[in-house]
Chain A
Amino acid sequence: DIQMTQSPSLLSASVGDRVTLNCKASQNIYKNLAWYQQKLGEAPKLLIYNANSLQTDIPSRFSGSGSGTDFTLTISSLQPEDVATYFCQQFYSGNTFGAGTELELK
């Protein structure tokens, strides 16, 4: 099974900061990766698919990059409404999610 490792598990940042979240696959998954945002008490929301494609209606401050085993979700200028937990998902072989990165305001 493909394992997904996210880092850090907790990230504190200030409004306006550029924020980078990481996701590492245990084997090559090419660009078969998605990113989700989950706010407390809500269902996950798709942000990015195919590693770098922005989902419709998602603000352009969110971007994804990477291929193979190493991937990054970047928020170019952190907003208060971005406080959430972020999950990556590989869909190259089955479906596996990372454990998540909790993003909080400093």
Chain B
Amino acid sequence: EVQLVESGGGLVQPGRSLKLSCAASGFTFSNYGMAWVRQAPTKGLEWVATISYDGSSTYYRDSVKGRFTISRDNAKTTLYLQMDSLRSEDTATYYCARHPIYNNWGWFAYWGQGTLVTVSS
């Protein structure tokens, strides 16, 4: 059974940093591009970043470029999102999600349960 379990969310002050993790199991992690998708309270879904199956390529939405870093450890089957210089508009539930096999794009067939990040003083 495919499982994606996020952790690391919490309350953080504007300008500070936070690192999210997503532990994957039930599939060959190193074969799949992975992504972070966020959802602000009562709002819609917003793609944040994608990393290729081997970690060689990364992609970000404009509003997080230079502040967020997506990475992965295939040996630990874990996805990460390092978030620096956080802003109030980054407040959201962050989901990790899996792209189709060997793809850095496409639909998200599996999602984690999400971890809430609140940026507030």
Which size bracket describes the interface of A in this complex? Answer: 10 to 19
In the assembled complex, the CB of B57 is this many whole angstroms from the nearest CB of chain A, namely: 14
In the assembled complex, the CB of A101 is this many whole angstroms from the nearest CB of chain B, namely: 11
Indicate if A98 sits at the interface (CB-CB under 8 A). Answer: yes
B50 (CB) vs chain A CBs: closest residue = A95
Q: Tell which of B45, B61, B105, B106 touches A44, judged by Cβ atoms closer than 8 Å.
A: B45
Indicate if A87 sits at the interface (CB-CB under 8 A). Answer: yes
Q: Tell which of B45, B95, B107 touches A49, judged by Cβ atoms closer than 8 Å.
A: B107
Q: Tell which of B35, B50, B108, B112 touches A46, judged by Cβ atoms closer than 8 Å.
A: B108
Which size bracket describes the interface of B in this complex? Answer: 20 to 34
Which A residues, 2 to 59, have Cβ-Cβ distances below 8 Å to chain B?
34, 36, 43-46, 49-50, 55
Verify A46–B109 contact, CB threshold 8 A.
yes
Verify B47–A43 contact, CB threshold 8 A.
no
Known contacts A43-B114, A44-B108, A89-B107, A95 near B44 by CB under 8 Å: no
Pairs A–B under 8 Å by Cβ, sample size 17:
A43-B95, A43-B111, A44-B45, A45-B111, A46-B107, A46-B108, A87-B45, A89-B108, A91-B106, A91-B107, A94-B47, A94-B59, A94-B61, A95-B35, A95-B50, A95-B105, A97-B44
Query: Which residues in A have some Cβ–Cβ distance to B below 8 Å?
Result: 34, 36, 43-46, 49-50, 55, 87, 89, 91, 94-100
Q: Ordered nearest first, which 9 A-B pairs have the shortest CB separation?
A: A95-B47, A34-B107, A43-B111, A97-B45, A49-B107, A99-B44, A46-B109, A91-B106, A100-B44
A43-B114, A97-B45 given. 14 additional CB < 8 A pairs?
A34-B106, A34-B107, A43-B111, A43-B112, A44-B111, A45-B111, A49-B109, A87-B44, A87-B45, A91-B106, A94-B47, A94-B61, A97-B44, A98-B44
